Amino acid sequence: MRHLLDTTDLSLQEIDEMIALAMDIIEHKEKYAHYCQGKKLATLFFEPSTRTRLSFTAAMYELGGHVLGFDDAGSSSATKGESVEDTVRMAGCYADIIAMRHPLEGAPRVGAYRSAVPIINAGDGGHAHPTQTLTDLLTIYREKGTFDNLTIGLCGDLKFGRTVHSLIKAMCRYKNVRFALIAPKELQVPDYIISDVLEPSGCKYAQVETMEAVMPDLDVLYMTRIQRERFFSEEEYLKHKDAFILDKKKLWNAKQDLTIMHPLPRVNEISTDVDDDPRAKYFVQALNGKYIRMALIIKLLEWGGMM
């Protein structure tokens, strides 16, 4: 049985297979309409979500399966003191696969320890969000046709933004990928991303404080929200809250085939005047999330011998 706890749980070949399956699902939706008939997905969301939970739900319905779960820890027995491990073990009695979001880093790994069914990390604190990364990879692949030779600008809260950490881990495994890490010094990527991920990979990267400095070089611009819920004080959050706002004017010298991405939700980071720009792909990206989660559910059930 396999879980998906971090992006690096998947080999490059498995990611390729997942992307190929998602592409086939997009082309031939009807072929997969009964693929998960009789199967159940449990969504255990201890932290708020719109896209991740709804796209998992839509994914399982479109595969002909069923969904159960909770979207608020307050309505679960966690309020009575039940551990993550026991909650996951229980959900495994009622479902064939589990997608779990939790505010504590490592909680899905703890849950996976005794789980009888595959666990998918749907976001754990500031650590990782591997299904967002698969979503991002599918988007990059559909827009660029490759993962190699790309310059990717990551902009905003690179310290607490788990989607950024997971995307760097995934993209630095491809050839000749370069990163522009655009953030104020206080919100730059954690040291371990530099020492354990970027440096060993040999990927080129630059840490800069404005997007204007790198805009003409970028193939992908990945905007992120300042993660208010992870700051230690409201004062700190307010200091950074509007650090970066992408608007039409800032795109004047960007490439014509730039891909603008954002895991969403956005607050102020992308002005709505960018939404109609053909380079804005963040809503397509959210749709891609459904297709890649369909592919992931199929693969994990297959790898677990449950299909």
Q: Which stretches of the chain bind ligand CP, using CB under 6 A?
A: 49-52, 123, 132, 263-265
DSSP letters spanning 201-215: HT-EEEEES-STTTG
The SS3 of residue 14 is: helix
Rounded CA-CA distance 183/155 in Å is: 6
Reply yes or no: is the peptide bond before residue 48 cis, omega within 30 of 0. no
Q: Among residues 122 and 183, whose Cβ is nearest to ligand CP?
A: 122
> Residue 139 CB, nearest distance to ligand CP (Å)?
12
Contact at 8 Å (CB) between 114 and 83?
A: no
Rounded CA-CA distance 177/268 in Å is: 28
101 is catalytic: yes
206 DSSP β-pair partners = 180
Among residues 3, 39, 40, 51, the one annotated as catalytic is 51
> Residue 225 CB, nearest distance to ligand CP (Å)?
9
102 is catalytic: no
Pairing of strands 204-208, 178-182: parallel
Contact at 8 Å (CB) between 64 and 37?
A: yes
Among residues 40, 127, 129, 178, the one annotated as catalytic is 129
> Residue 54 CB, nearest distance to ligand CP (Å)?
8
Q: Among residues 123 and 130, whose Cβ is nearest to ligand CP?
A: 123
Q: Among residues 97 and 286, whose Cβ is nearest to ligand CP?
A: 286
> Residue 213 CB, nearest distance to ligand CP (Å)?
27
The SS3 of residue 6 is: coil
Specify the amino acid at residue 159. K
Q: Among residues 57 and 132, whose Cβ is nearest to ligand CP?
A: 132
Rounded CA-CA distance 307/61 in Å is: 16
The two three-digit tokens of residue 186, written as one number: 């206080």
Among residues 7, 39, 43, 52, the one annotated as catalytic is 52
Q: Among residues 49 and 76, whose Cβ is nearest to ligand CP?
A: 49
DSSP letters spanning 54-120: HHHHHHHHHTT-EEEEES-GGGSGGGGT--HHHHHHHHHHH-SEEEEEESSTTHHHHHHHT-SS-EE
290 is catalytic: no
> Residue 60 CB, nearest distance to ligand CP (Å)?
16
> Residue 288 CB, nearest distance to ligand CP (Å)?
11
Q: Among residues 135 and 214, whose Cβ is nearest to ligand CP?
A: 135
Q: Among residues 49 and 87, whose Cβ is nearest to ligand CP?
A: 49
Contacts of 301 (CB under 8 A, 6+ apart): 36, 39, 96, 97, 118, 307
> Residue 253 CB, nearest distance to ligand CP (Å)?
29
Pure H helices in the chain: 12-27, 51-62, 84-94, 107-113, 130-144, 162-171, 191-192, 199-201, 234-240, 282-303
Active-site residue set: 51-52, 80, 101, 129
